[in-house]
Amino acid sequence: MFVPAQRKTESRLARTPHLAWLAPLALTVLAGCASRNDLYVLLPGKDGKTGALIIESDGQKQTLDKPYAAARVKNVGSVDGFKSSEAEVKQDFGPALAAQPKRPVSFYLYFETDTDEFVPESRALVNQIFAEIARRPAPEVVIIGHTDRVGTPQHNDALSLRRAERCRDELIKLGIPKVRISVAGRGSREPEVRTASQVSEPRNRRVEISVR
């Protein structure tokens, strides 16, 4: 993903969009003048890993594949690679970073057998999920309910939806607008742990809450 900090001029230099898509975040400053002075920096994800980004200008290439790897294109055919840092990124790209939406996060809540009652550990997470949603100016919340393979498909479809709706209702009570939340039930179709039919598996009795 490219984040223009100034008005974009000419064309982007990444000739391999599939590689750019692998990068958690690639920042670029594009300066409009007679000689180019374009700066690209590859940022790490939360796990510290990156994808890769290839910068190309008139046949000259530079591959960015490590955290804070950077490249500057001064003129056509001139691509200089160097190592940036977290501090330099904050200084050079502070406004662009501040304008970025928060990254999506997912939470998993687990349930007692054949009910929409949370296990104690999951019940304690509801306020944490609310806090994460409340930090976002225009949140989108998707709640997907699941079951284990005990019971009929029809029963599990209804149960998984009830679990998703229970989570939605808890968040609404805390102040999240209903219009910001969508729910669905997937029954036992998408298990976290594969089991034989009629096997009780606590890790499959869950709801996934995605917050964007």
Tell me: the pLDDT tens digits for 175-208? Answer: 999 999 999 999 999 999 999 999 999 999 999 9
- The better pLDDT of the pair 166, 53 is held by 166
Residues of the chain with CATH 3.30.1330.60: 105-211
CATH class of 105-211: alpha beta
| The predicted structure's pLDDT at residue 36 | 57
Q: What is the pTM of this model?
A: 0.62
Residue % of the chain over a pLDDT of 90: 51
What does the alpha-carbon distance between residue 12 and residue 71 come to, in Å, rounded to a whole number?
Answer: 13
